[in-house]
Amino acid sequence: MKGGVPLAATRAIPVLNKNNETNFQDHSVSMLKKGGMLRAVIMGSPGSGKGTISSRINKHFDILTLSSGDLLRFNAVQQTPIGVKATKYMEEGQLVPDNIITELVLESLETHGQGKHWLLDGFPRTKAQAEALHKASPVNLAINLIVPSDVIVARIAGRWTHISSGRIYNTEFNPPKISGRDDITGEPLSQRVDDQPENVRRRLDVYMRSMQPVIDFYRESGILTEFKGTESNKIWPEVFNFLSEHVQPDVPLP
């Protein structure tokens, strides 16, 4: 995501890239098998690597990736009314109310997702969000990353983020070229307030409670695929191969 355009006084939707010209309506599972549009979600606990895997998907496939957390943080930085409202929930590690986040994500999809394959990171987080998304545009592929909690807590402590682009670094796993600076813009990186250890524990609790009905919803729909592991570098080739069965990659794995 680069820069931002306020669409209305209450919210800001970042400018996204990637184009393709296919039909937005083709989104059922059978249509995906026949080469229709990908309507995907990536799920997993806080710190499981959703953002890491999504950014690799974005580099290798012509798939628009959209993170609900990045959208919220972007609005928080822009101090839009939605951003201001969402900040207190995010800082406490609580979920932002369904109506706020659903409106933001669906509007962003309408603005940027028409005629494109897309994948949502961090949305839906509740059954109500899953149902709202299903009504607007049914998902045909759900990915769930399963990473043990003890691995996650250690990872998050080392995370640094470039807020306006959503680019993620980790002091051990993928450090920036210059310490504390974004590789592309050179702007300073920040640590997320919700990455404090007690907030991480709360987010993990909230995740477990709110996500089970969502995971069950996609499992029962027959579109759930789970990837288990402790390292994103090992999970990524599996996700790449799986996605390649549905969408032609632009850039092969090295």
29: which residues sit within 8 A by CB, 6+ positions away? 140, 222, 223
Q: Which residue in 133, 203, 218, 247 binds ligand G5P (CB under 6 A)?
A: 203
Q: Is 11 in the site for ligand G5P (CB under 6 A)?
A: no
Would you say 116 and 20 are in contact if contact means Cβ atoms under 8 Å apart?
A: yes
Residue 48 to residue 80: CA distance in whole angstroms: 29
Q: Is 93 in the site for ligand G5P (CB under 6 A)?
A: yes
Count of helix runs (H) and strand runs (E) in the chain: 9, 9
Site residues (CB under 6 A) for ligand G5P, limited to 142-181: 155-156, 158-159, 168-170, 172-174
E-strand stretches of the chain: 2-8, 11-15, 39-44, 63-67, 117-121, 141-146, 159-162, 167-170, 224-228
Range in contact with Mg ion (rule: CB under 5 A) among 44-52, 126-134, 171-179, 182-190: 44-52
Annotated catalytic residues are 50, 125, 159, 192, 203
Q: Is 182 in the site for ligand G5P (CB under 6 A)?
A: no
Residue 156 to residue 136: CA distance in whole angstroms: 33
Range in contact with Mg ion (rule: CB under 5 A) among 1-9, 49-57, 74-82, 217-225: 49-57
Q: How far is CA 48 from CA 18, 95, 150, 179, 254, in A?
A: 26, 17, 11, 23, 23
Pick from 47, 65, 48: nearest CA to 56: 65
Range in contact with ligand G5P (rule: CB under 6 A) among 20-28, 85-93, 182-190, 211-219: 85-93
Q: Is 49 in the site for Mg ion (CB under 5 A)?
A: no
Binding-site residue set for AMP: 68, 73, 94-96, 122-125, 129, 192, 203
Binding site for ligand G5P (CB under 6 A): 44, 46-52, 68-69, 72, 89-90, 93-96, 101, 122-125, 129, 155-156, 158-159, 168-170, 172-174, 194, 203, 231-233
Binding-site residue set for GTP: 47-52, 159, 168-169, 232
